[in-house]
Amino acid sequence: MVTDVVIIGGGVIGLAVARELLRLGARVRILERGSCGGEASWAGGGILSPLLPWNYPDSVTQLTQLSNRLLPGLTEILQQETGIDPEYQVSGMLVLPNMNNGQSTQFVEAESWCTRNAFPMKRIHSSEIMSKLIFGEPADKSALWLSSVAQVRSPRLLQALKRSVELSGGSIIEQTKVSGWRIGQGHVESVITDRGEYSGTNYVITAGAWSREILGRHALKLDIRPVRGQMLLFKVNPDLLGVVVLQNGFYLIPRQDGYVLAGSTTEEAGFDKSITIDARKLLLEKAHDLLPELTEKTLVRHWAGLRPGSPDNIPVINRHPAIDNLYLNSGHHRYGVTMAPGSAHLLSNMIMNNPQPFDITPYQWPV
Ligand SMILES: Cc1cc2nc3c(=O)[nH]c(=O)nc-3n(C[C@H](O)[C@H](O)[C@H](O)COP(=O)(O)OP(=O)(O)OC[C@H]3O[C@@H](n4cnc5c(N)ncnc54)[C@H](O)[C@@H]3O)c2cc1C
């Protein structure tokens, strides 16, 4: 019998899960409250790595490494299948020293983590990579060059994933909000929406920051909350910046079409997605410090998105402890674009009873 899966939420995680399940022979339907890819996934910067990868638990490393192995092939196939280029590029990331404290201890940790994880890293003067940065150049080589860090253009990745799901026979039902469940004896019978009920063999929640809300009392101890992130977009000359630059948690991302993204804030503001003057001021200040040329460049857009925040950025990728056909893939916090292919692979393996590439216990549902 063909497995029929209802997926709730069409962000990068829901679309990636749908694509992977279709590839494994399942039938899928995505129910999306608005338009696919209109929330956090659209707002994301598209850096395909944790910002300082040595600061995260092994479960984040394992998942981002799996995704990083899958992403080059996935983006290439997506482009062939759909004609939409997600603009995957290995641009590298320059980590500038934290000006608030000495960084030598952190660098020792970073070096040992990079060696252990075969993650290319070199200590350099920032001017070796970027002559344009006029940040106070330290005497020693205290910037870090992470040459393997890649990026995608998130809205394009989403468009390509959506198109690929459609081309593979997946059904995408937009403007349809899930509002409840019909559950009997530890089994979902149907999902209730504002446009009727839908049923399938299995149900997957990929509703990002809203996942907990959708589950109601069935969320148990699930700890996923909205974390607002704001971002600016500048129009620049295409050759102004070639690499991602990071300092004190703020970054600049160069895009291929002559725009630079500056981000991002991490704010506890509930489900409020407004942009704020304070955040704009802060991001402008940080962006100008990092790249003074930006003071003369046009700020073309300012936006906000709600990340699915979770403890330590560890998502839940698992079956509900008490409902046998209900699954969750959510809580990717700051790194959902990065983790999407790996998370989709793990969850689809679970639903299709395929072996896993590694122990997935760290991604279980908290009870
Ligand atoms: C400013 C910012 C910068 C970021 N930068 C990066 C980065 O550089 N790299 C990186 O890897 N990650 C980044 N992220 C994080 C990343 O964007 C998220 O982790 C990721 O998008 C989460 O994807 P998702 O599919 O779980 O959630 P979402 O994209 O939010 O998708 C959830 C979907 O569920 C739908 N939904 C909600 N409720 C319902 C309902 N009741 N019924 C039906 N549908 C529903 C929503 O409409 C939405 O489309 C950034 C995020 C922000 C905000």
339 Cα nearest atom in ligand 1: 11
Q: What is the pLDDT of residue 136?
A: 46
> At CB < 8 A and 24+ separation, what contacts does 180-187 make?
180/216, 181/216, 181/218, 183/218, 183/323, 186/322, 186/323, 186/324, 187/323, 187/324, 187/325
pLDDT for 107-133, tens place per residue?
A: 788 999 999 999 999 988 766 666 555
Residues 327 and 276 placed together within one structural domain of the fold: no
Query: Is residue 281 predicted with pLDDT exceeding 70?
Result: yes
CA of residue 230 to ligand 1 center, whole Å: 13
- Report CA(217)–ligand 1 centroid distance (Å): 22
Please state, in angstroms and as integers, the Cα–Cα distance from residue 184 to each residue in 62, 196, 254, following that order: 36, 18, 51
- Do 180 and 320 lie in one domain? The reply is yes
Candidates 29, 71, 210: which one to mutate for ligand 1, based on the most atoms within 8 Å of Cβ?
210
Spatial distance between the Cα atoms of 229 and 226, rounded to a whole number of angstroms: 10
* Total domain count, the chain: 2
Burial call 206-221: b when 16+ CB within 10 Å, e when fewer: bbbbbbbebbeebbee
Residue that terminates a domain, selected from 288, 307, 326: 307
Q: How confident is the model at residue 134 (pLDDT cuts 50, 70, 90)?
A: very low
Q: Who wins on pLDDT, 91 or 137? A: 91
| Domain shared by 75 and 19, yes or no | yes
Residues 135 and 233 in one domain: yes
Ligand 1 lined by 151 (C-beta under 6 Å): no
The tokens describing 119, both together, are: 């993650």
Question: In terms of residue numbers, what domain contains 257?
Answer: 90-148+228-307
Q: What is the CATH number of the domain that holds 135?
A: 3.30.9.10
Q: What separation in Å is there between the alpha carbon of 314 and the centre of ligand 1?
A: 15
Among protein residues, the one with the nearest Cα to ligand 1's atom 35 is: 9
One domain, residues 191 and 120: no
The count of other CB atoms within 10 Å of the CB of residue 125 is 15
| Distance separating alpha carbons of residues 358 and 288, to the nearest angstrom | 43
* 160/300 same-domain check: no
The reply to whether 166 and 284 lie within a common domain is: no
Taking all residues of the chain, what is their mean pLDDT, rounded to a whole number? Answer: 93
Tell me: the pLDDT tens digits for 143-171? 899 999 999 999 999 999 999 999 999 99
Tell whether 144 and 163 lie within a shared domain. no
pLDDT at position 107 is 78
Taking each helix axis from N to C end, the angle separating 12-23 and 336-351, rounded to the nearest 10 degrees, works out to 40
Are 73 and 13 members of one domain? Answer: yes
Average pLDDT over residues 28-40: 98
In terms of domains, do 76 and 188 share one? yes
Q: Among residues 268, 284, 307, which one ends one of the domains?
A: 307
What are the angstrom distances between the C-alpha of 294 and each of 261, 284, 298?
A: 11, 9, 8
Mean pLDDT of 317-332: 98
CA distance 305 to 229: 5
Token digits of residue 278: 């304070």
Which CATH number belongs to the domain containing residue 14 in this structure? 3.50.50.60
Res 135: pLDDT: 47
Q: What is the mean pLDDT of residues 230-234?
A: 97
Which residues fall within 8 angstroms of residue 78, CB to CB, at 6 or more apart? 84, 86, 157, 160, 161, 164
pLDDT value, residue 3: 81
Domain C-terminal end among 307, 329, 351? 307
Q: Clarify whether residues 73 and 167 are in a common domain.
A: yes
Whose alpha carbon is nearest atom 15 of ligand 1?
A: 334
Give residue 220's pLDDT. 96
Going from the Cα of 224 to the center of ligand 1, the distance in angstroms, rounded, reads 12
Instruction: Judge if the beta carbon of residue 341 lies within 6 A of ligand 1.
Output: no
The CB of 17 under 6 Å from ligand 1? The reply is no
Of residues 237 and 275, the one with the higher pLDDT is 275
122, 105, 124: which is closest to 114 by C-alpha? 122
Q: Is 78 in the same domain as 158?
A: yes
